[in-house]
Structure 1
Amino acid sequence: MSHAITRLPDEQIAPLIAHYDAAVRARRRHTLIMFGVIAVCTVLAAWMGEVKPDVFFAHADRLPNYFWSITPVLHWDTLGADLSEWYWNLDHWLKLLLDTILIAYLGTLIGAIGGFCLCFLASANLVKSPWIRLGARRFLEFCRTVPELVFALLFVVAFGLGPLPGVLALAIHTMGALGKLFAEVVENIDMKPVEGATASGASWLTTVRFAVVPQVLSNFASYGLLRFEINVREASIMGFVGAGGIGQDLVEAIRKFYYSDVSAILLLIIAAVMIIDLVTEQVRHRLLGFGGQR
């Protein structure tokens, strides 16, 4: 069956075509303005950051040369002896690596508890007072705005060298980061259980305990595990400022040009982070109900 195509008169088509062309021109103009703004911001950032392409290309070979320098010389005939010489201080490095993992674990645990306690006060759907929400949100912003290394430096001055400054620095930054993520999860819950608990006369704490926490607990645990992965990497460099962990030996090896030690420690850190990432990924998938899906 053939269908007749109705063609509008030219006097009706002309305004539509003109409107379409105007919209296309406006879209192109906005796109060009956007790219222009990005280009100007890039140039200004490069200028303020003193980015010098000629210097970069003149010394670009130094980084691969450094990686070539820290690569150990291994021979198949003497592989066992070469590996023993490469990891001559393995027992000590493993102990420091365990310290790093424990620093990350304790900092994550303390920070997650703090973020858990504050996230409900920062949620707009649970707290009607703007002053309470404002105070909780600004405090969490302060905690996550200051870098961990800055906190670690301050705590090293206050408490001396060792793992304690690293734990405190990670705990404060983790509390700020997880507190914001937890608050966003709480603000997206189903409010019907909350309304039902409130209508039955439950207190605010009881409502949070029985109507809110069961809805968000799996997401909280998932975010906590993800933050633990991040904190293991962050704890690895806490030793740069004397806050304990394997980073302290790493920065010493870098400064003293112990090339083989640098590569050995880096590989230990990479292996540890990869294993922790794989384990926590599986746990997070199970908590979120993914099971073995990918």
Structure 2
Amino acid sequence: MSHAIARLPDEQLAPLIARYEAAVQARRRHTFIVAAVVLLCIALSSWMGEVKPAVLIANAGRLTNYFWSITPTLRWSSLWADLSEWYWNLDHWLALLLDTILIAYLGTLLGGIGAFLLCFLASANLVKNPFIRIAARRFLEFCRTVPELVFALLFVVAFGLGPMPGVLALAIHTMGALGKLFAEVVENIDMKPVDGAVASGGSWAQMVRFAVVPQVTSNFASYGLLRFEINVREASIMGFVGAGGIGQDLVEAIRKFYYSDVSAILILIIAAVVVIDLVTEQVRHRLIGWEARQ
């Protein structure tokens, strides 16, 4: 059985076609304007940053030459001897790498505690007083806006060389970064348990403890583990300003042109970051899966 396709009269179809074509033209204009703005921003950024493609291309070979210079000579006939010579200071470097991981761990722990305490005050659905909420948000913004290296330099001047400035710098920046993420998690919770806790006469602290925290624990832990991965990488360069860890030996090797030491330390850092990334990734997936089953 055939079905006839209804066709609008030309006097009704023409205005619809005209509106459609006008909408298409407007969309194209918007796309062109956005593309032009993006290209303009790229051009201005390249000009202000003195990005010169010709210089980049002309000197690109220096980077590959440097990587070739730090690559050790390994011969199959004397492989063990070559590896022993390459990692001649392995015990010392492993100890410094452990220091780096512990700096990242302690900085993440202290920053996470601070973020946990402040995120509830920065959440619009829990705090109606705008002064408290805005003050908490601005403080967290300050903590995450100042780079870790700047904080580390300040603390090195105040407390001297060593791991302590690195821990404090990472803790402050971590508190600001995690505080924002934690606050966003809190603002997306189910408010029914909160209303129930308030209706039953619970205080603000009790409402947070029994109605909010159970909903956000796994997400908080997941973000905390992710931040720990980031902090391990950040702690690796804290030694550049004297804030402890393996970065101090790395920058010394770079400055003194100890090429084989540079590659040996870099491989240790990369291996540590990869292992930590794989472990924390599995833990995060288990936490997310556990939350989904609740």
Q: TM-score, normalised by structure 1?
A: 0.98
Deviation at 1:6, TM superposition (A): 1.0
Aligned residue for 2:41?
41
Mean Cα deviation higher: 247-256 or 282-291: 282-291
Structure 1: 5+ residue stretches without partners: none
Q: SS where residue 7 of structure 1 aligns?
A: coil
Residue 123 of structure 2 corresponds to residue 110 of structure 1 = no
Identity fraction in percent: 83
Mean Cα deviation higher: 8-17 or 167-176: 8-17
Residue 282 of structure 2 corresponds to residue 282 of structure 1 = yes
Aligned residue for 2:230?
230
Residue 109 of structure 2 corresponds to residue 91 of structure 1 = no
Q: What is the CA–CA distance in structure 2 between the aligned matches of 1:189 and 1:54, rounded to whole Å?
A: 52
In structure 2, what residue type is equivalent to 1:163?
P
Aligned residue for 2:199?
199
In structure 2, what residue type is equivalent to 1:32?
F
Q: SS where residue 88 of structure 2 aligns?
A: coil
Aligned residue for 1:11?
11
Residue 140 of structure 2 corresponds to residue 140 of structure 1 = yes
Deviation at 1:290, TM superposition (A): 6.5
In structure 2, what residue type is equivalent to 1:33?
I
Deviation at 1:255, TM superposition (A): 0.6
Q: SS where residue 78 of structure 1 aligns?
A: helix
Q: SS where residue 28 of structure 2 aligns?
A: helix
Q: What is the CA–CA distance in structure 2 between the aligned matches of 1:84 and 1:290, rounded to whole Å?
A: 45
Residue 215 of structure 2 corresponds to residue 215 of structure 1 = yes
In structure 1, what residue type is equivalent to 2:59?
H
More helix by share: 2
Deviation at 1:142, TM superposition (A): 0.2
Q: What is the CA–CA distance in structure 1 between the aligned matches of 2:287 and 2:29, rounded to whole Å?
A: 47
Deviations 1:215-253 (A, max 9, x none): 100100010000000000000000001000000000000
Mean Cα deviation higher: 164-173 or 277-286: 277-286
Change (3 A) 1:71 1:290: farther
Aligned residue for 1:176?
176
Q: What is the CA–CA distance in structure 2 between the aligned matches of 1:37 and 1:281, rounded to whole Å?
A: 38
Aligned residue for 1:153?
153
Q: What is the CA–CA distance in structure 2 between the aligned matches of 1:290 and 1:116, rounded to whole Å?
A: 21
Q: What is the CA–CA distance in structure 1 between the aligned matches of 2:231 and 2:285, rounded to whole Å?
A: 19
Q: SS where residue 237 of structure 1 aligns?
A: helix
Q: What is the CA–CA distance in structure 1 between the aligned matches of 2:13 and 2:201, rounded to whole Å?
A: 64
Alignment of 1:261-272 (within 5 A): 261-272=261-272
Structure 2: 5+ residue stretches without partners: none
Q: TM-score, normalised by structure 2?
A: 0.98
Q: SS where residue 190 of structure 2 aligns?
A: coil
Q: SS where residue 60 of structure 2 aligns?
A: coil
Aligned residue for 1:246?
246
In structure 1, what residue type is equivalent to 2:126?
L
Q: What is the CA–CA distance in structure 2 between the aligned matches of 1:233 and 1:267, rounded to whole Å?
A: 13
Q: How many residues align?
A: 291
In structure 1, what residue type is equivalent to 2:239?
G
Q: SS where residue 245 of structure 1 aligns?
A: coil
